[in-house]
């Protein structure tokens, strides 16, 4: 039953990666930008949740909603201030800007509150359940449930609502979408808002699950979520979810075999292998530059 236990831990971790990866993949799908700031949005979400719980005494769900709202606004502001001007510049300029904004946010947060970590308060009742012989805390079960519900809501938004339709149209062909009367700017902002809200949720969930947060916490999960997005095929929403879960499970397995120090390396090795052998990811289609 040991492996079943590990599988469950992997899925819990994977659900966090998946939530962050969704934002990466949505933004990439729509403006072809690797939004490095996404890891920082995740961090801001985590801190918002922390302050909401610790200082205002809010419960888990109100904090989650608050943090998602703050992150949605934050994501849109970043898009409007920094990225909007870069739509017609080179990919490299956009990537460097993203890295720059990401570092800026990290160090402004450190400047304001210092680099010391914070212990996340315990907001969820924690009982250990015994299901099919494996030990599952009610907390991680609830977290997994929340992640899955959010993913289902996202799927609904993308496929059943008007804004979702507009998002798909813009990511397919922005010029044609514009000619069809779609407000491309608003659609891009909406994408950032939704993606960032998911990262915010992931931030709170991460805090509750791992109990320790700090201003540089976004870097590694951010990169890993990006790897998950590439693994599933960047720009493809179900791909990000699958990529997140696969990565979470692989990491847990690597740790379980006693190589926990190599855990981070495993993710990067997966990234490089996938980039070399199947750069379009598990679900992606190959595309070649037109000559």
Interface with other proteins by CB under 8 A: which residues? 34, 82, 85-86, 89-97, 99-104, 106-108, 110-111, 115, 219, 223, 226, 230, 261-262, 264-265, 268-269, 271-272, 275-276, 279, 289, 291
The whole-angstrom separation of Cα 229 and Cα 224 is 9
Output the CA angle 152-226-236, nearest 5 degrees.
45
Q: Which is nearer to other proteins, 93 or 152 (CB)?
A: 93
Q: Which is nearer to other proteins, 150 or 217 (CB)?
A: 217
**Residues in CB range of 157: below 8 A, 6 or more apart:** 163, 164, 194
137: which strand partners? 128
Least Cβ distance, residue 93 to other proteins (angstroms): 5
The owner of tokens 């990666």 is: 17
Decide if 74 contacts 44 (C-beta within 8 A).
yes
Q: Which is nearer to other proteins, 33 or 201 (CB)?
A: 33
> Measured on CA atoms in the order 199, 200, 203, 204, is the torsion positive or negative?
negative
Least Cβ distance, residue 13 to other proteins (angstroms): 18
Least Cβ distance, residue 106 to other proteins (angstroms): 8
Q: Which is nearer to other proteins, 8 or 24 (CB)?
A: 24
Q: Which is nearer to other proteins, 110 or 282 (CB)?
A: 110
Least Cβ distance, residue 209 to other proteins (angstroms): 24
The owner of tokens 């909007």 is: 84
Least Cβ distance, residue 64 to other proteins (angstroms): 30
119: which strand partners? 212
């Amino acid at each position: 039953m040991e492996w079943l236990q590990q599988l469950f831990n992997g899925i819990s971790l994977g659900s966090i990666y998946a939530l962050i990866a969704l934002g990466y993949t949505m933004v990439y799908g729509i403006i072809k930008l690797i939004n490095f700031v996404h890891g920082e949005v995740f961090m801001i979400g985590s801190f918002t949740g922390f302050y909401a719980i610790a200082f205002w005494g809010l419960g888990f769900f109100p904090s989650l909603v608050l943090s998602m709202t703050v992150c949605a606004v934050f994501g849109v502001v970043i898009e409007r201030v920094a990225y909007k001007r870069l739509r017609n510049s080179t990919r490299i300029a956009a990537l460097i800007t993203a890295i720059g904004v990401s570092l800026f946010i990290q160090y402004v947060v450190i400047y304001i509150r210092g680099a010391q970590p914070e212990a996340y308060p315990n907001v969820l009742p924690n009982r250990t359940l015994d299901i099919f012989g494996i030990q599952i805390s009610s907390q991680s079960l609830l977290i997994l449930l929340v992640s899955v519900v959010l993913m289902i809501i996202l799927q609904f938004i993308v496929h059943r609502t008007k804004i979702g339709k507009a998002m798909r149209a813009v990511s397919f062909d922005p010029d044609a979408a514009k000619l069809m009367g779609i407000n491309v700017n608003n659609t891009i902002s909406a994408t950032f808002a939704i993606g960032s809200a998911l990262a915010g949720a992931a931030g709170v969930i991460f805090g509750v699950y791992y109990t320790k947060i700090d201003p540089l916490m976004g870097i590694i999960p951010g990169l890993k979520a990006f790897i998950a997005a590439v693994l599933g095929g960047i720009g493809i929403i179900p791909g990000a979810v699958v990529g997140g879960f696969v990565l979470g499970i692989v990491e847990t397995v690597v740790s379980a075999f006693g190589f926990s120090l190599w855990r981070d390396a495993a993710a990067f090795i997966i990234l490089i292998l996938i980039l070399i052998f199947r750069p379009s990811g598990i679900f992606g289609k190959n595309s070649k530059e037109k000559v």
